[in-house]
Amino acid sequence: MVNRVAFVTGASRGIGRATALSLCRAGFDVVVASPAIESNQELAAEIRACSGKAMAVNLDVTSPGSVKDAFAKALKDRGRIDVLVNNAGITRDGLAVRMKPADWDRVLQINLYGAFSCIQAVLPGMMRNRWGRIINIVSVVGQAGAAGQANYAASKAGLIGLTKSLAQEMGRREITVNAVAPGYIETDMTKGLPDEVKQTILASIPLARIGTPDDVAAAVKFLAGEDAGYITGQVLAVNGGMYM
């Protein structure tokens, strides 16, 4: 069996970190990438400590030069990239009527352009190998919308459209392209929400609990594996039933 290599963006914390560890436990070599190089190194060391293989690269998904360098280093060290997990993302919330252009641009640059830039970096190798898994982390907000998150919702909805288009383009090359759409997950991005907002969200979740990064990582691990080879262009919701 080919030793599969997975490249995870935004891997230094939260969903990205949980995904990197989950893929390691499933037998993947893992490239952990984010701008937080010290955290990347710590995570890579943790993976190696549990008998996994890992390397860390510094990555700013908005910089073409950084993307080129990061993927070149990974390819030189590992020889191939079989799985790309586009997890890097940010929020800059605010009502649309008062949203600053810089906040709109920054969210779209990281969440949508950044993912596309990474996809372009891995596609040539996946096409040559005639095997690949591209998994984009989107959001329930990209499906249902959310007041105060027009920029974030637009970026994630755009990523869903990108997922479906690429799935059609790449299917004949045995490259699957799917999205995982988390709902309310306990991460650094959601910890700052006011308690009343958290309680309102919790009341809308049929499973009556907040999700964990491991819940999302399990879905990514499935889509990255051999058993998901006939699944492409799909959005796998991991939201406890809050949006169906």
Would you call 184 a catalytic residue per the annotation?
Answer: no
Strand order in the sheet with 175-182: 54-58, 29-34, 5-9, 83-86, 132-137, 175-182, 235-238
Cα 112 from Cα 45, distance rounded (Å): 29
Give the phi and the psi of residue 72 in degrees, each rounded to 5.
Answer: -65, -40
Cα 241 from Cα 216, distance rounded (Å): 14
Measure CA of the first residue to CA of the last residue in the chain; give whole Å. Answer: 37
Q: Do 162 and 116 contact (CB within 8 A), yes or no? A: yes
Cα distances (Å, whole numbers) of residue 163 to 20, 57, 76, 152, 207: 21, 25, 27, 17, 27
Which of these is catalytic: 152, 184, 230, 243? 152
Cα 158 from Cα 243, distance rounded (Å): 18
Which residues does the annotation mark as catalytic?
152
